[in-house]
Structure 1
Amino acid sequence: MTAAIEIHGADKRFGTLHALKSVDLTVEAGDFFALLGPNGAGKTTLINLLAGLSVPDAGTFKVMGFDVARDYQQARRSLGVVPQELVFDPFFTVRETLEIQSGYFGLKHNDDWIDDILFNLQLADKAHANMRTLSGGMKRRVLIAQALDELPQALPQRHIHAGSGLIQND
């Protein structure tokens, strides 16, 4: 079985700061993992390298078997990233935000998928609400929905549940 995420020998420097030193990580398909560490530990750097948003000094990065450097489009399409920051256009509705996100990946006529995402993230009743009217937790859920909207097979998440209200104590 192909691993969802494979990182071998990841190395990244920012001037004299050695942010990542020969990092190896394998996450099997279907597994959940947490990338934890103090501020400045390199978590965001590692995710940016995996997403192809930054160029490594050394190392290989694969998503669902696709090399991020060689097969960027396939790797990126297989990866959904939930950003740490709340990033959205306040003038679009929740549904419009997801439709626009779909367009970035060439996905058309995926209303049923968007409906499923909205339902599963408890956003269905907010589908036609403007983003600027949502609470912080609801905005965080929309970020999760955007990552799922592109049909990723691998989903690294930074602070995915922080403020989303999705964690329940049974």
Structure 2
Amino acid sequence: MTLPDYAIEAEGLVKIYPATKTTPEMHALRGLDLKIPRGSIFGLLGPNGAGKSTFINTLAGLTKKTAGTVRIWDRDIDERPRDARAAIGVVPQEISADPFFTPRESLEVQAGMYGVPAKERRTMELLNALGLGDKAEAYVRQLSGGMKRRLMVAKAMVHNPPVLILDEPTAGVDVELRRQL
């Protein structure tokens, strides 16, 4: 199997949010052209409102683009949406974990949603790698903010995606955890 040259490719990517009664039409992305090589670490920087989250949400399949082409791991998000989503793991800016689940249960549910067979799941491997192995059976609501952030990273990795997107992964975490992440 030949690996693609690019992890992510965007050509002429446009996203226009339509006007509402109270807000005018908003151009979040204006013809974005970007190629991120496989194996690279890439930082997307810009001020608030520059379209960074819109771009990430488009990659994740959460926002529908207005125009342009996007490929994740050489899978077009329009032609092969399911395959494209399987090739990407996203750590969102906001923490979103069910407070009544344990970290182990959270990862098991996430793996099930991606169709990862039970025998191929790496739940404890991921929890241990992110320093959460000893909290596997604690409820998420009992975890510190930094631990919840690490759980979000683990959830993004349950299906072993070749592309990992971290949307402000160090927001609200201490300096030591930033280094670990």
TM over 0.5: yes
Q: Deviations over 1:19-78 (max 9, x none)?
A: 111101111111001111111110111111112212111111111100011101111000
Query: Structure 1 residue aligned with 2:99, among 82, 90, 98?
Result: 90
1:155 paired residue number: 164
Is 1:101–2:110 an aligned residue pair?
A: yes
The 3-state SS of whatever aligns with 1:52 is: coil
Q: Deviations over 1:70-95 (max 9, x none)?
A: 10111100000101111011111000
Give the superposition deviation at 1:110.
4.6
Cα distance change of structure 1 residues 110 and 41 upon mapping to structure 2, 3 Å threshold: farther
Q: How do 1:1-170 residues align onto structure 2 when only pairs under 5 Å count?
A: 1-2=3-4, 3-15=6-18, 16-110=25-119, 113-162=122-171, 163=173, 165-168=176-179
CA distance in 1, matches of 2:120, 2:105: 11
**Is the CA contact (8 Å cut-off) linking 1:52 and 1:69 kept in structure 2?**
no
Cα distance change of structure 1 residues 29 and 103 upon mapping to structure 2, 3 Å threshold: same
> Percent identity of the aligned residues?
44
Give the superposition deviation at 1:167.
2.7
Query: Structure 2 length normalisation: TM-score?
Result: 0.88
CA RMSD of aligned residues (A): 1.6
The 3-state SS of whatever aligns with 2:168 is: coil
Structure 2 gaps of 5+ residues are: 19-24
**Is the CA contact (8 Å cut-off) linking 2:121 and 2:158 kept in structure 1?**
no
The 3-state SS of whatever aligns with 2:167 is: coil
Query: Structure 1 length normalisation: TM-score?
Result: 0.93
Tell me which amino acid in the other structure corresponds to 2:90.
V
Cα distance change of structure 1 residues 168 and 52 upon mapping to structure 2, 3 Å threshold: closer
Give the superposition deviation at 1:112.
5.7
Cα distance change of structure 1 residues 166 and 111 upon mapping to structure 2, 3 Å threshold: farther
Runs of 4+ off more than 6 Å: none
Structure 1 gaps of 5+ residues are: none
